[in-house]
Structure formats: structure tokens, C-alpha cells
A = this chain, B = another copy of it.
Amino acid sequence: MPRFEQNLRIPGPTALPPSVMAAGGRQMINHRGPEFAALLERIVRRMRPFFGTTGDIVLLTAAGTGALEAAVVNVLSPGDRVLAVTVGAFGERFAKVAEVYGADVRRLAFAWGTAATPDAVRAALLEESAVRAVLLTHNETSTGVTNPVAELAATVREIAPDALILVDAISALGAVPFEMDAWGLDLVVTGSQKAWMSAPGMAFAAVAERAWAAMESARMPRFYFDLRRARESAATGQTPWTPAVAVMYQADEGLRLMEEETPAGVFARHAACAAATRAGLRALGFELLADPAHASQTVTAAWVPDDVDWKAFNGEAKRRGLVLAGGQGELKGRIFRVGHLGSVEVEEILGAIAVLEEAALRTGRAVTPGAAVAAAQRAALAELGAPVAAVAGGTPA
């Protein structure tokens, strides 16, 4: 019996664990009352270790894109020079938001599938004077690449010490180690439907002192996404506008589960699922998009081979309950993506690889039955530090 009706292998919304689902079915409460204040406090308190911050985290009722907009409009003024480091569709989106609100955006774009390099960021900052903010993507969902945010931030601090560092950490925060304070990041945003194992609808913005200070003089227009208003309300246990209460119930329960598993446990599980996904897909003959040195722990993108009829292949997967994501932007129709974040377990990845293996066989591709599943399982075990040789040989360790 599968845990879920579908094997929802898209990079968010992610499948909800049973207790999180149940939390979404709870009755409403007064969002101006003490029960709500306690809920808000718990969510922020439990999120802080995953952000790696002791500072403020405010909640926004919005998709992640709303939080990207909040990051931009709260700390910048029209005309401000912004360096947008882009490695895919979401980096491009972040840059676009800044442009729409009148920032003077310089793009430092890397080939899709690669990560940003500190050297290139250094060169770009040396070339540009008076960069007010650097926009970074932590995990690029469109390509399955995780940027070396710590190194990139250190470079920014070295060359442009006063520049604000705004980070889109939507699709991996909570699933991998992250140290906002230690890395010197100023504003970091994420969304409920990713590693947090909840339904979509709430975004979270962690704000450091430098960013709060920047808001004093920032002149981009803002009302709904005004973070200072959110901080003011939070001081009385509220949000300025009516929040997505049921999503907060779910985030609260998801965080309880994550705390119980411990951050280290959550990270190890994601690493194992990611390793299994990559090994399984490679064993099926798929080429992966991401530079292996920067492959994401939460989403893996694979090229659709020229000889594969993607529609037939994906149709076969769907028929078996496996839901994959397609490509975005310039990669639409050319790649597919497998999400492995949130409540994901290695068994679900093995299930996905098994379905893809069968789909490959049925659509006439030359694969050895069982080989991809075995490769995925070995990779997961190796990642978890299990005695793989013994397992492979059938001899007890």
C-alpha cells in the first residue's frame, strides 16, 4: 500500500504526511486571539534553526514569488543598482521583480545546469560600483542546481561590504544545512509547500538587522508585503492581514515532525533521496542537467533523450501514479524534473525509479530490469553510510 494516492514527485507542492494533512482539516480560530499568537510563535521558533538565524522571521500569505517581491520592495529604491546572479528561471524571476519595481539590474547569468562561481561574482562586483543589493538563488528549482551561497556571500562581503544580500531559499531551505547569520545574509525567503511539508499559501521571510535598517530609507512602493508592518503585528502575536490559518496549522505540524526527526536526520534523508534519484536516473540512461558538484538535494533535472517520446513516456508514468514536473523557461519540453523534498522517503524514490524503468521497457528502451532500482538503492545506502558491499554481496556485515 503506497502512503499516498500519487507519487507526487514535483518540486512542490510536496505530498503531505498524514498528520499534516489532518492539520489542514482543522476548524478556524480567531486570528486576533491568544491561540493564534501561540501558533505563530511556535512556527517562528521552530523555523529559526533551519534558517540558521536568531533573528526575525515574518510570515506572508503568498506564494514564494510574493516573498521574492517582498524581499525586493522592502529594502530597495527605484534606481538602485542591483546585481542579479542567475542560474535559471527563478533567478531570472527574482531579477525581473527588481526590474519591474525600477531597480537598475545587472545580470550575472550562468549557463543553466551550472552554479554561480565566487570568482565571477567578484569580477562583476569589481566592475560595478555602488551595488546596493545582490540577488542570489539558493536552490534553482528549474535546473536542480544549488549555489554555494556561503562562498558567494563571503565574496560579496569582501568586495562590496555594504551590499544587501537577498536570497531566494524557497526550494531547499529546511532540507539542507543553512546558516543565514553565519553567512551574513540579509534577507532570506522560503515557502510552505517545499521542505516544510505543508500545503502552499504561506511564505516566510527571515530579516537581518541590516535589512531592517535598509527599510528606513527604501522607497519602492509596498503595502501588502510591507515587512515592517508584519514585524509590528508579530510583536502582538498577529499578522497585519488575515493569514492562511490552515496552512499555518500544517506548517506547525510539519515543523513538529522536523524537530522530532532532528535537522541532521532531515538533511540525511534528503541526501539519501537525492543520491538515489540521481543514481536511478543515470542507470536508466538519462543524462542529468546539473553540474554534479552542485547537484540539488531537493530536485533533479534530466534531459529528455532525443529518441524518447516524452508524452508517451510521461503518460505511462502518470498512469502508474507517478507525477513528474516538466521543464521551465528555455528548458520547456527538453527536460523533466523529479522532486525529492519535504516528506519524501527513499522508498518513494525507488518506486518512482521502478515506474520509470517499466516505462522505459514498455517504450522500447534498452534497460536491464531491476538495474536502475538497485543502483538507486545502493546510492541511498551509501549516502546513509550503510555497509553497501555486504548488501551488494548478500553477506551479512
Contact residues of A with B, CB < 8 Å?
4-6, 8, 10, 12-16, 21-33, 61-66, 68-69, 96-97, 100-102, 191, 193, 199-202, 220-225, 240-247, 250, 323, 325-326
Contact = CB atoms under 8 A, between A and B. Distances in A.
Find the residue from A33, A97, A221, A225 having the highest chain B CB count within 10 A.
A221
B242 A63 contact: yes
B101 A221 contact: yes
- Kindly list the 4 A-B residue pairs having the minimum CB-CB distance in the complex, ordered from nearest: A25-B25, A201-B244, A63-B241, A199-B246
Nearest to A225: B224
B100 A223 contact: yes
A245 B243 CA distance: 15
Given A61-B61, A326-B32, A193 B242 contact: yes
A241 to B, nearest CB: 4
State the number of copies, please: 2
A200 B13 contact: no
A69 B28 contact: no
B242 A200 contact: yes
A31 B326 CA distance: 12
A221 B102 contact: yes
Nearest to A191: B242
A23 B22 CA distance: 10
Contact of A13 (B5, B100, B242): B242
B323 A33 contact: yes
Nearest to A239: B63
B66 A224 contact: yes
Contacts of A10: 30, 32
Give the one of A101, A200, A243, A323 with max B CB within 10 A: A200
A221 B221 contact: yes
B6 A29 contact: yes
